[in-house]
Structure 1
Amino acid sequence: MTATIGAPIVGGARWDPPAAIAVRGTVLILPGRGEHAGVYDRFGRRIAADGYAVRSATPQTAVDLATGATGPVVLAGSDTGALHALAVAAAHPSLFAGVVAAGVPAEDEVDIDWASELEARTACPTHQARLTGDTGFQRGALALPVAPALLAPAPVTVPVLVLHGEADTVSPVGSAHRIAAGLPNAELGTVRDGRHDVLNDATHRTVAAHIVQWLERLRADAAATPILTVHPH
């Protein structure tokens, strides 16, 4: 599917694998501050191309969408969407096989104008142009405070892939290290020169490829151990 710039998708969005590919699992994407489902069209199409059904979700719809979906079912969220994904997985560990938490926000509020926010979100010129021309996107949302209850660590027991840009000025990478250290089954991936919207940054292909590898590991082994190991010589 392709989203129309200028209006958010109402009622959720979906990206399905090509007809010839059997569905290998389901990814439920929870957008962050200011975003709507259509912002993740590029991400959804890329993950779907590798056999995973991708659906947009909210904290309220995620459980219903997971029920009956082809497993493993994974929650993926960016910014506050990552915090919501962790909270939903903590509340329903039997429904979800894992969580992808990208750009987890820090406790500190950010005072930022639109030009600075655009630069802080992504270095990708294509995504910058999309956000600039998207009237359904809420500018200035990164300055909105995050609810303290949402920032409280959630006791997530399923595997978690924490992804964070090393050049994130909205939420410095140290917050990702703290989140990962507080989870019993977490893997932390940091993106060189990556900014806040790591799923839609200049290195979105590399990030998406790593997510697919992680999803494949979940399918093969609940402990998410590597399938392919590189041995340097």
Structure 2
Amino acid sequence: MAVDKVAVWDNPEGLNPRGTVVFIPGRGEHPGVYERLGTRLGADAYRVRVVGDPTLDADGVTEQVRALWSDDNLPGPHVLAGSDTGALFAAGLVATGVVTADALVLSGLPVTGPTAPPADWEGELDARTNCPTHRDRLTDDGAVRRGALRSAPPSDWFGLADPAAIGVPVLGLHGADDVVSPLDAVRDWYAKVDAARLVGLAGTGHDALNNQTHRSAAATVLLFLERLRGGAEIIRDEPLR
């Protein structure tokens, strides 16, 4: 199966790019699903590229990422990001050294097979998102593969995504109400990463970047990117007296 064409969001004209985020979608998704996130990060001068669904063509997506990292027009820091199985795949690429990155952003990371597979499309929507706009988009989008959340991630991806083998900073974004990959189930995984921050989003399901909390999620990602560029101490809590 041919891999999806890479989606592109760039920094505004007149602003120098501040880095590059390559994003890997999850089960059933395609690059255009992340237009909202790409537009937001692009407006803050990050170059965003969204590749295909690796559950359909893992080798093709790996080559897409490698090609983007070799593009001289995409400056560092280079951040590899993903949602759902895209997050698991991204973690595996970095943990095994298949690709390199300066950091990882992982949203809705699955660490086991489906814990509560949705029975129908309405159930899948409920598991994914409570954002009315995003629910309508998914429903009206013929390129979104319905029922994808009923399929387990490839079993070997769990072993490849060894958290102890990841040597770059990791930001985890996870919905507190995620029934596909419950928040409590992922805590141990992030605890094994040398430098990780796990952020729980209240009132949020599996698609942590596309729920009603999507503005808070995007702001959290942006803050992580800025700290990566400027150092951990760029933002400090100052004493009041």
TM-score by length of 2: 0.87
Deviations 1:178-228 (CA, angstroms, capped at 9, x unpaired):
22112111111110111100111111111101111100100112xx45623
Aligned: 1:115 with 2:151: no
Aligned: 1:229 with 2:232: no
Partners of 2:171 and 2:196 within 8 A in 1: yes
Q: Which moved more, 1:118-127 or 1:67-76?
A: 67-76
The match for 1:134 is 141
Partners of 2:117 and 2:180 within 8 A in 1: no
Partners of 1:80 and 1:146 within 8 A in 2: yes
Query: Aligned partners of 1:230, 1:205: CA distance in 2, in Å?
Result: 26
Query: Aligned partners of 2:36, 2:140: CA distance in 1, in Å?
Result: 16
The match for 1:14 is 8
Alignment of 1:141-180 (within 5 A): 141-152=148-159, 153-154=161-162, 155-180=165-190
The match for 2:81 is 76
More helix as a share of residues: 2
Aligned: 1:38 with 2:32: yes
Letter aligned with residue 19 of structure 2:
G
Q: Which moved more, 1:119-128 or 1:85-94?
A: 85-94
Shift of residue 229 of structure 1? 2.8
The match for 1:95 is 100
Aligned: 1:51 with 2:57: no
Shift of residue 118 of structure 1? 0.2
Q: What is the aligned residue count?
A: 223
Decide which of 63, 66, 69 is 2:69's aligned counterpart.
66
Partners of 2:121 and 2:146 within 8 A in 1: yes
Shift of residue 98 of structure 1? 0.2
Query: Aligned partners of 1:230, 1:115: CA distance in 2, in Å?
Result: 47
Q: 2:212 aligns to what SS in structure 1?
A: coil
Partners of 1:123 and 1:195 within 8 A in 2: yes
Q: Is the alpha carbon distance of 1:93 and 1:184 closer, same or farther for their aligned partners in structure 2, counting shifts above 3 Å? A: farther
Shift of residue 87 of structure 1? 1.4
Letter aligned with residue 128 of structure 1:
R
Query: Aligned partners of 2:80, 2:234: CA distance in 1, in Å?
Result: 20
Query: Aligned partners of 1:83, 1:170: CA distance in 2, in Å?
Result: 14
Q: Is the alpha carbon distance of 1:171 and 1:21 closer, same or farther for their aligned partners in structure 2, counting shifts above 3 Å? A: same
Letter aligned with residue 148 of structure 2:
A
Q: 1:218 aligns to what SS in structure 2?
A: helix
Query: Aligned partners of 2:136, 2:238: CA distance in 1, in Å?
Result: 37
Q: Which runs of 4+ in 1 moved over 3 A?
A: 91-95, 230-233
Shift of residue 230 of structure 1? 6.7
Letter aligned with residue 41 of structure 1:
E
Query: Aligned partners of 1:134, 1:119: CA distance in 2, in Å?
Result: 16
Aligned: 1:104 with 2:71: no
TM-score by length of 1: 0.90
The match for 1:5 is none
CA RMSD of aligned residues (A): 1.9
Query: Aligned partners of 1:25, 1:38: CA distance in 2, in Å?
Result: 21
Aligned-residue identity in percent: 41
